Structure 1
Amino acid sequence: MKSTRAVKVITSLSVGVVLLASLSWIGLGQVSGRIDRISVFAGLDNRPEKTSKALNYLLVGSDTREGLTKEEMKALRVGSTKTAAGGRSDTMLLVHISKNRDKAFLVSLPRDSLVTIPAHLSTDGKSQIPDRENKLNAAFAFGGAPLLIETIERATNLKMDHYIEVSFAGFAGIVNALGGIEVCTKVDIDDPKSHLVLSAGTHTLDGIEALKYVRTRDFDGRGDIGRMQRQQQFMSSVIKKATSTGVLLNPIKLVNFLNAAISTVKMDENLSKNDLLDLAKQMRGLSSGNVRTLTVPLTTANGRHPTAGSVVIWDPVLSADLWTRIRDDAALVDEVTPSPSASSSSSASASAKPVIVDKFKTRTAAENPCGEIK
């Protein structure tokens, strides 16, 4: 369960930014026909209203072993499909694509976020469970994608337009299709659980090593928060490579990427061929510098709940501001012009440069990841 979020984060990036931005290069009918579609919106009521033509995708990673070879499962030190039946998700990524399709925000939602899970049927279908507080990942365990979507929509008042789910195999295949992804660590990594061993410095990781990297959480004492930061850095590296090596403009590379991704991607029932084609055309100009990654603002990463146990608690003020900005398709980073002091001259005041205020602590995919990871 702990390993899930890594997968979701990376694949979400690849699917949400690279895949959707490039589908117009090959026959959409052929590609769309190979996607495994799932019904996630049919039973949802009282959903938030849309206030702009921006799009919100919920990208979820599943830790199902399906699609992995025995050699890959051995390399990852994970159980088989039989020993890890079904799929679990404990990481979610909210991807917001601006109405002009020229900017994107990727917001990490910690798996242990304390939220109210709406009333739902028990897993055996025999009883009704009332609204109650629990961890966000419990929503997926109790009711799959529909309950997870309903929980997130209530917590954020943001309507999810589409849903994408990926697996271990999809993650590894995407990284390999891109020729590996570069990461930089300032310290040596030797994680006994993910079995990742890296010396300090820059490395290019293949699919399996990349999976280990984004699952790593026990080597530095920062747990899931540290892992989430590494996932965001890795995600930025994926975007940067995809946009700098011509993947979107090279049909051969594009086909390799799609062949690796499509077979392990599940999408909602409402994502049509025309939706994908239109979005791909609109997002041609999206660059890594216009993609910002961030984590929902927190008041504590080590909260306690009487029944849910250890939880992550969102900052009620900053998180509300974040959801409002995303709902209104507004900028996350502000430019504030300093107020002139009583002693300053009018000419000096007029030439004052705006101050950049980034209270959500965002990062762009174009930034050097080596300066971000400790």
Structure 2
Amino acid sequence: MMASFIREVLARARRTLASIRGVRGGSATIAALVVGSVSVLVVAASGVLWSVNAAADAGVERVGSLGDIDTRPPQTANGSVDILFAATDDPVDEKADDEKGESADEKALPDRRLSHLALVHLSRRHDSTVLIDLPSNSLVDVPPHRDFRGKDVGASKRPLAATYEDGGPALLVQSLETVTKIRIDGYVELSLPALTDVVAALDGIELCLPKTVEDKAAKLRMAPGEQTITAEQAAAYARTTAGGSLDRLRRTQLLFGAAAERLFGATAVLTPWQATQLLDEGAAALRVDDGFDRALARRVALALRDPYGDRTSIVSVPVDETKKTKDGTVTTWQSQLTTYLFEELGKDSRIDPSLFTPAPVPLRPGSVSVRVENGAGIEGFAGKATEELRGVGFRMKGAPSNADQESSTTTIYHDAAHEKHARTLQAAIPGAELAVTKTKSSTMRVVVGRSYSGVRQVNYVKNAEPGVSENDALSVTAAGPCGG
């Protein structure tokens, strides 16, 4: 029913435009595909199934075959699929470089820059989906390559955004495969400026914001609740970095989902002017790899119909630290948790998001000293917990040892003067309990019980409430806080 409606509306728009502007036959399909596939990138449900299934037939730009990339991980034998979605923006202003005598032609940079990334893992059983947010400033190992200027570049460490700038989607995919050991089966890229163009063509969109968004630098303040936003507001809302990378990913989801609903909803009326705008701007917004065919597109669309249901997990790659380099501010990944995450994906295992979603804590993990004792009666349990806590940044003291008695519960023993330290540690160990001791010590004593299931990544936030994830505040459902 919906597909028939969409086809009829777009067919009418295409016939009208063809008669007055000579629009090519495939452009309407592209325009529809752009908005619907943008919804796929950001995991919105509206219009996705029809539009993304048209990917193989639309005249969208192709970025080449992923099979041409050298030294790739082996194809998974379990039948799971991993798709890389990239959101891009306009290139940075090059006026300063031009004033120095370096022209844009000499720089030979791509016409887009990487904004943010998401890796989507589709299980072999078709019963679970994992969406992993990948910060574009993540520092990764980059293999030798030839950049856009035709210059041979040796192996180095660069942020993901720089790999896209130097070598386009192919180098981006190759670098990610090198660090994750995951073979990427498909690539979809969408342009954020297309958001502004689509929203402008629709004379704004209705949006329900789950919480206040404020960015003083961008002069942006938007209150929660239902509202109509302009193209300029939509662009600022999508681009602000307030709240972290997962917030940004979900903001983009809300925007493009609302645009798709506005376009594809039964109450949407496409005037010839609106259709013209969508056709003109939409055709250049989507790029996919050569292997992204109808079968793969259908599988992606079906998997992402219910992004906040029980079958979908949304996590951010575990981050270790943020530092400044010649490429600007970059983030490094937490080695142990990141390795575990991608190993589990490679085995097509179910992912527990709580292990990877950072919990805000009032102290830096490195300022908390910890000693672990085995209270589970299971050989190697204390050593395992010691390494996992060290992996998320805590300062481990002494060798693991056995507790005086066994316990099913994991308990953190601390003196009254170090409650903040204890609560910071508790946020990293799901299910752990606190116990105050009279013995004065700055070292937390952890007795791991049989219920111990691993650690959770934590993130220092000044005046944070321990144990409550910053992402819990942005819980977006299909209905949203406005109902409906």
Instruction: Quote the residue 2:456 is aligned against.
Output: 359
Structure-to-structure mapping, 1:59-74, within 5 angstroms:
59-64=85-90
Q: C-alpha offsets along residues 173-205 of structure 1, whole Å, 9 cap, x if unaligned?
A: 666879433223346x2533x34232x433544
CA pair 229-276 structure 1, distance change in 2 beyond 3 A: closer
Contact map agreement 1:108 1:295 (CA 8 A) in 2: yes
238, 258, 269: which one aligns with 1:214: 238
Q: 2:57 aligned with 1:32, yes or no? A: yes
Aligned to 2:333: 314
2:167 is equivalent to residue 143 of structure 1: yes
Aligned-partner residue type, residue 101 of structure 1: H
Partner SS for 1:322: helix
Residues 65, 291 of structure 2: 8 Å contact kept: no
Matching residue's letter, 2:250: Q
Give the C-alpha shift of residue 157 in structure 1: 0.6
| Aligned match of 1:44 | 69
Distance (Å, rounded) in 2 between the aligned partners of 1:267 and 1:325: 27
What does residue 315 of structure 2 align with? 294
Once the two structures are TM-superposed, the CA of residue 129 in structure 1 deviates from its matched residue by 1.4
Alignment partner of 1:275 is 2:296 = yes
Q: Return closer, same or farther for 1:207/1:324 CA change in 2, 3 Å cut-off.
A: farther
Q: Secondary structure at the match of 1:212?
A: helix
Residue in structure 2 matched with residue 182 of structure 1 by the alignment: 208
Among 105, 112, 117, the residue aligned to 2:142? 117
1:98 maps to 2:123? yes
Displacement of 1:58: 1.1
Listed one character per residue, the Cα deviations across residues 37-93 of structure 1 (whole Å, up to 9, x for unaligned) are: 22152430221121422221111122138xxxxxxxxxxxxxxx99x9711114222
* Structure 1 residue 267, shift from structure 2 partner: 1.0
For residues 344 and 239 of structure 2, the distance between their equivalents in structure 1, rounded to whole angstroms, comes to: 30
Aligned-partner residue type, residue 119 of structure 1: P
> For the residues of structure 1 that align with 2:49 and 2:351, how far apart are their CA atoms?
28
Offset of residue 272 of structure 1: 1.6
Q: Which runs of 5+ in 1 are unaligned?
A: 1-9, 66-80, 345-353
The 2-side partners of 1:11 and 1:35 are apart by 12
Aligned partner of 1:14: which letter?
V
Question: How many angstroms does 1:318 deviate by?
Answer: 0.7
2:456 alignment partner AA:
K
Instruction: State the distance in 2 between where 1:239 and 1:168 align.
Output: 10
Higher RCO structure (Cα 8 Å, ≥6 apart): 1
Q: TM-score normalised to the size of structure 2?
A: 0.53
Q: 1:355 to 1:173 in 2, by over 3 A?
A: farther
Contact 2:82 2:185 survives alignment (8 Å)? yes
Query: Take 2:45 and 2:185, find their aligned partners in 1: how far apart are those partners?
Result: 17
Provide the rounded CA distance (Å) in 2 between the counterparts of 1:48 and 1:28. 29
From the superposition, tell whether residues 168 and 240 of structure 1 become closer, same or farther in structure 2 (CA, over 3 Å): closer
- Aligned residue type for 2:85: L
Does the residue aligned with 1:33 lie in a helix, a strand or coil?
coil
Checking the alignment, whether the CA contact within 8 Å between 2:44 and 2:253 is kept in structure 1 is no
Q: Give the direction of change, closer, same or farther, for the CA distance of 1:22–1:118 in structure 2 (3 Å limit).
A: same
| Structure 2 residue corresponding to 1:131, chosen from 147, 151, 155 | 155
Match of 1:327 among 341, 346, 353: 346
Alpha-carbon separation, structure 1, partners of 2:48 and 2:174: 29
Q: CA contact under 8 A between 2:85 and 2:119: conserved in structure 1?
A: yes
**CA–CA distance in structure 1, aligned partners of residues 306 and 267 of structure 2:** 20
Shift of 1:327: 1.6
CA contact (8 A) 1:98 1:329 kept: yes
Q: Structure 2: state its 5+ residue gaps.
A: 1-35, 92-103, 356-375, 378-404, 409-450, 458-468
Deviates more, 1:95-104 or 1:316-325: 95-104
Deviations 1:247-294 (A, max 9, x none): 99x6887x99x97866521111111234334554x4486453233322
**Residues in 2 aligned to 1:131 and 1:357: alpha-carbon distance in whole angstroms:** 35
